[in-house]
């Protein structure tokens, strides 16, 4: 899962990143309005944690811009402003949640998890696709009741495909989802292909041939071979 944290208060930014990195999130940061806008429009995130008072502009304006341009990333506003008007404005502009500073990181984590659950798995923590089940909380995957042992990258790849199953995703988008900003340092995106191959092999070992055929139908929507 990929997060963008837009926050200019350095110590808070660092502690959010440290906390979520420990929970296996891929975290990217922006500390100004401009930088936040750039990242939010160039990349796709599962959730954006957004401060309101930012150097260069307001988080509310940023949110308004994103929603106007059909950006559907989950957004949680974090703000020192505890006024009802701000909360209502944020939620009306399309924020998914609003948390007043100071807050405990455990609470932010719960809110992020709840948002991801609503976004991807409706009432439970489990995303289902045919016989395939992926548990967002336990980070486990099973096919037809048998558990699949996936590497972290294979898990992230599968999750990305499942949450984008009706969209065409490029190899670069997959690479960015798995490696984030480090993608710039990669010589090629060929590793995406080997992750897909390994994932398919593991599914087939559990009897997921049919799934792989279906899966190929949407997985091959990527622009390669
Ligand atoms: Ca601020």
pLDDT tens digits for range 71-104 = 889 999 999 877 788 889 999 999 999 999 999 9
What distance in angstroms lies between residue 15's CA and the mean position of ligand 1's atoms?
A: 15
CA–CA gap between residue 129 and residue 219 (Å, rounded): 13
> For residue 113, what pLDDT band results from cuts at 50, 70 and 90?
very high
Instruction: Using the Cα atoms of residue 59, residue 60, residue 61 and residue 66 in order, give the sign of their dihedral.
Output: positive
201, containing H or E segment? helix 190-205
> For residue 221, what pLDDT band results from cuts at 50, 70 and 90?
very low
What distance in angstroms lies between residue 44's CA and the mean position of ligand 1's atoms?
A: 23
- Tell me: do 114 and 7 sit in the same domain: yes
> For residue 223, what pLDDT band results from cuts at 50, 70 and 90?
very low
- Tell me: do 33 and 105 sit in the same domain: yes
- Tell me: do 130 and 116 sit in the same domain: no
Count of domains for the chain: 2
* Domain termination site, one of 69, 104, 120: 120
Three-state secondary structure call for residue 113: helix
For the question of whether the overall pTM of this predicted structure is more than 0.85, the answer is no
Token pair listed for 122: 């409706």
DSSP-assigned beta bridge partners for residue 54: 57
What distance in angstroms lies between residue 54's CA and the mean position of ligand 1's atoms?
A: 5
60, containing H or E segment? helix 59-68
CA–CA gap between residue 190 and residue 158 (Å, rounded): 17
What distance in angstroms lies between residue 16's CA and the mean position of ligand 1's atoms?
A: 14
What distance in angstroms lies between residue 74's CA and the mean position of ligand 1's atoms?
A: 20
Predicted confidence at residue 214, as pLDDT, reads: 65
What distance in angstroms lies between residue 28's CA and the mean position of ligand 1's atoms?
A: 17
- Tell me: do 177 and 68 sit in the same domain: no
- Tell me: do 56 and 27 sit in the same domain: yes
Range of the domain at 220: 126-224
Predicted confidence at residue 215, as pLDDT, reads: 59
Q: In CATH, what number is assigned to the domain containing residue 214?
A: 1.10.10.10
Contact between 9 and 16 (Cβ < 8 Å): no
Strand 97-100 with 126-129, pairing? unpaired
Predicted confidence at residue 120, as pLDDT, reads: 82
* Domain termination site, one of 77, 101, 120: 120
Predicted confidence at residue 193, as pLDDT, reads: 82
What distance in angstroms lies between residue 52's CA and the mean position of ligand 1's atoms?
A: 6
Q: In CATH, what number is assigned to the domain containing residue 92?
A: 3.40.50.2300
Share of the chain above pLDDT 90, in %: 52
What distance in angstroms lies between residue 162's CA and the mean position of ligand 1's atoms?
A: 34
Task: Compute CA 22 distance to the chain's CA centroid, rounded to the nearest angstrom.
Answer: 15
E strand map for 13-115: 26-30, 47-51, 53-54, 57-58, 74-79, 97-100
- Tell me: do 44 and 135 sit in the same domain: no
- Tell me: do 40 and 101 sit in the same domain: yes
* Domain termination site, one of 120, 145, 168: 120
Q: Which has more pLDDT, 75 or 177?
A: 75
Q: Which has more pLDDT, 191 or 9?
A: 9
- Tell me: do 95 and 137 sit in the same domain: no
CA–CA gap between residue 27 and residue 3 (Å, rounded): 5
pLDDT at 50 over 60: yes
DSSP-assigned beta bridge partners for residue 58: 53
pLDDT at 63 over 80: yes
- Tell me: do 105 and 159 sit in the same domain: no
What pLDDT, in 10s, does the model give residues 119-139? 887 667 888 888 889 998 888
- Tell me: do 103 and 171 sit in the same domain: no
Place of tokens 């289902």: 128
């Amino acid at each position: 899962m990929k997060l963008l944290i837009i926050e200019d208060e350095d110590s808070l930014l660092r502690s959010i990143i440290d906390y979520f990195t420990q929970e296996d999130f891929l975290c990217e940061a922006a500390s100004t309005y401009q930088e936040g806008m750039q990242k939010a429009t160039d990349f796709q995130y599962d959730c954006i944690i957004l401060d309101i008072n930012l150097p260069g502009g307001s988080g509310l304006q940023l949110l308004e811009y994103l929603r106007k341009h059909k950006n559907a990333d989950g957004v949680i506003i974090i703000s020192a402003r505890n006024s009802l008007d701000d909360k209502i404005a944020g939620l009306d502009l399309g924020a998914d949640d609003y948390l007043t500073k100071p807050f405990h990181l455990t609470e932010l984590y719960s809110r992020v998890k709840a948002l991801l659950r609503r976004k991807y798995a409706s009432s439970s923590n489990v995303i289902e696709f045919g016989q395939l089940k992926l548990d967002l909380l336990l980070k486990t995957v099973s096919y037809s009741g048998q558990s699949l042992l996936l590497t972290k990258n294979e898990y992230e790849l599968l999750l990305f495909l499942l949450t984008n199953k009706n969209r065409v995703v490029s190899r670069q988008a997959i690479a960015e989802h798995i490696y984030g900003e480090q993608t710039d340092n990669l010589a090629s995106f060929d590793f995406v292909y080997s992750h897909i191959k390994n994932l398919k092999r593991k599914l087939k070992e559990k009897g997921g041939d049919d799934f792989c055929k279906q899966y190929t139908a949407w997985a091959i929507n990527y622009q390669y071979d």
